[in-house]
Amino acid sequence: MIELFGSLYGTRAMKDVFSARTRVRTLATVEAALARAQARLGIVPQTAADAIAAAADQADDFDLAALAAQSETVGYPIVPLTRELARRAGPEAAAFVHWGATTQDVLDTGLVLQLRDALALLEADLRATNAALAQRAECHRGDVMAGRTHLQHALPITFGYKVAVWLAPLIEHAARFDALRARVLRVQFGGAVGTLASLGDRGREVTIALAEELGLAVPDAPWHADRSAFAELATFAGVACGSLAKFAGDVVLLMQTEVAEVFEPHAPGRGGSSTMPQKRNPIASEYVLASTRGVHALVPLVLAAMAGDHERSTGPWQSEEIALPQMFVLASSAFAHAKMLAQGMTVDTPRMRRNLDATNGLIMAEAVATALAESLGKAEAHHLVEQACSVAIERERPLVDVLAEEPSVARHLDRRRLNELFDPASYVGESAAVVDRVLARYSEVGAPPRPVNV
């Protein structure tokens, strides 16, 4: 049913990475790499390795339905996969398929190959998002708007500051990819219980050679019973999507008709309603939020897999096959929609300025109270301005006029000074400095996107 939604719940590229066909291809790739590595070390005949590799190259022709049917019986796809490889490799090579390996070795290492491509896709989208947000933060560095707390006007900020707050955590998420790769992109090869006893004293040699064949790192110990790297990967996906959801959630609120300060990129028919011709709904933001909730729901499943029993767990490890592919497909949706938002949003700065005046100057109450506090002390100044705010709200008058008519205020602040205090641009604090610091951090670690070869 989810396919009816096209790429809304996951990009086509990421769905391809975690498709059944790609899964079979990566598992066959691991088996071929193992045979080549062992042939290089003189453990299996080179002719057998060549035949196994040739059979693995035909993985796209394997009967998926037949593999699935046999997997239901066995519990895993490796046994039917190796049977098919053996059949295609021929009787002389058949005995050397899967030599010294166990099912989990191939499943785990195959999944790592898929995750390598998945991380490349996510990183490319995130770095593109960051580049777009960095440009917007610089462009809108001084454009004043209402800052909101509890969904109410609070104090003036700049839109550049708001964008910088969105961008700051995303910069750090992008910087984490290399560290994640170092811990996740490792070969798993341990045999039945991790000791590679069937290979005698050649086990470490084969592990290193297999890793070289696949372009993966070599762990100090087999990690078939240590799922911490996948758990870290899952929590990273959850946290990164959470930061994107913050961005998207703010866009939803800024698109409200009564606010109308920021808008998603629009195309004819996008975000339309089946009954209301005027509607332009925040579709991209909604799918960032929906996909993020899906990712967050799956994170606990991966964390729970860490508590595996002994040398191969009875259930926890297997749940990763459910969670990780779904998690990355959903994360790709959040990352891709966020990129589109960052690159294509439209910003109405005149509307931002008009909205600052919506409360007749109440948004500048703290600025006045702070200025009065220099003469009256904080408590009395706060009390005076609070009373004036109540009058301004009740009588629907500008706060500056109410304050100007109050003798206890006028003794300390004349009308000229009050007018200065009611300029929102004069009370944005460190807004510009925050933008500058975040952009400096972006310049430090915001490298261009890596090329994606999936």
Please report which confidence band the pLDDT of residue 417 belongs to, taking 50, 70 and 90 as the band edges.
Answer: very high
Chain centroid, CA 416 distance in Å: 50
Give the fold, CATH level 3, of 9-101+194-216. Answer: Fumarase C; Chain B, domain 1 (1.10.275)
Cα separation, 32 vs 333, in Å, equals 33
Residues with Cβ within 8 Å of 375's Cβ and at least 6 positions away in sequence, in order, are 381, 412
pLDDT in tens, 67-88: 999 999 888 899 999 999 999 9
Whether 277 shows a pLDDT value over 90: the answer reads no
Cα separation, 271 vs 289, in Å, equals 15
Please report which confidence band the pLDDT of residue 276 belongs to, taking 50, 70 and 90 as the band edges.
Answer: very low
Cite the beta strand spans of 66-194 per DSSP E: 144-149, 152-158
User: Residue 274: what pLDDT?
Assistant: 46
CATH for 362-421, options being 1.10.40.30, 1.10.760.10, 3.30.750.24, 2.170.190.11: 1.10.40.30
Task: List residues with catalytic annotation.
Answer: 150, 273
Q: Write the single-letter amino acid at 193.
A: V
Whether 447 shows a pLDDT value over 60: the answer reads no
- What average pLDDT score do residues 187-197 get? 95
Give SS3 for 188: coil
Backbone angles phi, psi at 146, to 5 degrees: -80, 125
User: Residue 9: what pLDDT?
Assistant: 80
User: Residue 275: what pLDDT?
Assistant: 52
Domain positions in the chain:
9-101+194-216, 104-186+223-357+433-454, 362-421
CATH class of 104-186+223-357+433-454: mainly alpha
pTM score: 0.92
- What average pLDDT score do residues 316-328 get? 93
Backbone angles phi, psi at 444, to 5 degrees: -75, -40
Cα 402 to Cα 314, 362, 378, 408, distances in angstroms: 73, 11, 20, 12
Alpha helices in 316-450 (DSSP H): 320-344, 349-356, 365-376, 378-395, 399-404, 407-410, 415-421, 431-445
User: Residue 378: what pLDDT?
Assistant: 92
* 3-state SS string for 234-267: HHHHHHHHHHHHHHHHHHHHHCCCCCCCEECCCC
Whether 3 shows a pLDDT value over 90: the answer reads no
Cα separation, 428 vs 25, in Å, equals 56
Cα separation, 248 vs 259, in Å, equals 15
Q: Which region among 296-305, 311-320, 430-439 has the lowest average model confidence (pLDDT)? A: 311-320
- What average pLDDT score do residues 365-370 get? 92
Please report which confidence band the pLDDT of residue 268 belongs to, taking 50, 70 and 90 as the band edges.
Answer: low
pLDDT in tens, 214-253: 999 999 999 999 999 999 999 999 999 999 999 999 999 9
Backbone angles phi, psi at 136, to 5 degrees: -70, -40
Percentage of the chain lying above the pLDDT 70 cut:
94
Give SS3 for 415: helix
